[in-house]
């Protein structure tokens, strides 16, 4: 009887181990299927740390543009959870909340949306509504002429600050954007093409700090970047 009990106990332990292993295998399969079923926008966003964004309480950055010998910059501090935004330039310091805007803050907010789009385009393609998108494999990148994959996003004709515009994102096998076209009003020819380079991780958020055109005479880049997360209670 004791031998039978021992064998039964061993069998139950083995069965439990097998069930746990099968359960883990099922979870891995589900996770793999879930990742495979993500559309390309989410894959690009995740490659840039999108899963960490939910914990971001503040992001600060300076938006810089060099055209030849001319330089322009403005700095921002944004709290995405409260909507509070502060802009600092050589001429002004303006603070407002995106949930309580008026005619005086619309111009500043348009500048914020522009600068934020350059900074966080991989996330904007998930956040933004009213868009259509299409994919193309083995596309020729506009600057390097490398063969990459292409995601095209077209904005609707209503709402937003630049309705009807289109963007072609050229991304690599790791879902990192390497170049893009901006096409104002969804024109066939690009209004601007730049690189996406000098990626750096800021508290789990991947940001391309440098964008250059084909001549090198235009540079748009970010400095003074900081990302703060909520502290655990």
Per-residue pLDDT tens for 212-225? 999 999 999 999 99
**pLDDT tens by residue, 50-80:** 999 999 999 999 999 999 999 999 999 999 9
Rounded Cα distance, 105 and 113, in Å: 12
pLDDT band at 39 (very low <50, low <70, confident <90, very high): very high
Q: Answer yes or no: do 18 and 66 share one domain.
A: no
C-beta separation of 118 from 63 below 8 A = yes
Q: Answer yes or no: do 12 and 67 share one domain.
A: no
pLDDT of 204 higher than 70: yes
What b/e string do you get for 127-154 counting C-beta neighbours within 10 Å, with b at 16 or more? ebeeeeeeeeeebebbbeeeebbbbbbb
The CATH number given to whatever domain includes residue 209 is 2.50.20
Q: Answer yes or no: do 45 and 86 share one domain.
A: yes
Domain that holds residue 9: 1-37
Q: Answer yes or no: do 19 and 92 share one domain.
A: no
Q: Answer yes or no: do 28 and 82 share one domain.
A: no
Q: Answer yes or no: do 10 and 65 share one domain.
A: no
Q: Answer yes or no: do 116 and 5 share one domain.
A: no
| Domain count within the chain | 2
Q: Please work out, in degrees rounded to the nearest 5, the angle formed at the alpha carbon of residue 87 by the alpha carbons of 84 and 92.
A: 135
C-beta separation of 207 from 199 below 8 A = yes
Rounded Cα distance, 146 and 129, in Å: 30
**pLDDT tens by residue, 151-188:** 999 999 875 667 899 999 999 999 999 999 999 999 99
Residue that wins the pLDDT comparison between 12 and 1: 1
Q: Answer yes or no: do 124 and 224 share one domain.
A: yes
Q: Answer yes or no: do 203 and 147 share one domain.
A: yes
Beta bridge partners of 210: 197, 221
Chain-wide mean pLDDT for the chain? 87
Q: Answer yes or no: do 20 and 110 share one domain.
A: no
Residue that wins the pLDDT comparison between 232 and 8: 232
Could you give the percent of the chain with pLDDT greater than 70?
82
Question: What pLDDT is attached to residue 230?
Answer: 87
Q: Answer yes or no: do 86 and 174 share one domain.
A: yes
Q: Answer yes or no: do 158 and 101 share one domain.
A: yes
Distance of CA 88 to the CA centre of its chain: 24
pTM of the predicted protein model: 0.82
**pLDDT tens by residue, 76-91:** 999 999 999 999 999 8
Rounded Cα distance, 78 and 14, in Å: 54
Beta bridge partners of 208: 199
């Amino acid at each position: 009887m004791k031998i039978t009990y021992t064998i039964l106990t061993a069998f139950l332990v083995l069965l439990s181990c097998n069930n746990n292993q099968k359960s883990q295998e099922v979870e891995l399969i589900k996770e793999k299927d879930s990742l495979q079923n993500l559309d390309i926008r989410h894959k690009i966003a995740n490659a840039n740390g999108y899963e960490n964004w939910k914990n971001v309480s503040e992001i600060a950055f300076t938006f810089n543009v060099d055209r030849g010998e001319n330089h322009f910059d403005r700095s921002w501090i944004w709290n995405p959870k409260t909507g509070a935004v502060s802009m600092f330039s050589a001429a002004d310091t303006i603070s407002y909340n995106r949930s309580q805007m008026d005619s005086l803050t619309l111009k500043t907010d348009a500048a914020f949306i522009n600068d934020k789009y350059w900074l966080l385009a991989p996330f904007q393609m998930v956040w933004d509504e009213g868009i259509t998108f299409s994919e193309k494999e083995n596309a020729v990148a506009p600057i390097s002429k490398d063969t990459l994959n292409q995601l095209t996003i077209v904005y609707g004709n209503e709402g937003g600050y630049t309705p009807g515009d289109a963007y072609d994102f050229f991304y690599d096998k790791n879902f990192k954007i390497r170049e893009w076209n901006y096409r104002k009003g969804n024109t066939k020819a690009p209004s601007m093409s730049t690189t996406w380079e000098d990626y750096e991780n800021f508290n789990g958020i991947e940001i391309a700090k440098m964008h250059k055109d084909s001549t090198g005479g235009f540079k748009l880049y970010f400095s003074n970047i900081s990302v703060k997360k909520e502290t655990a209670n």
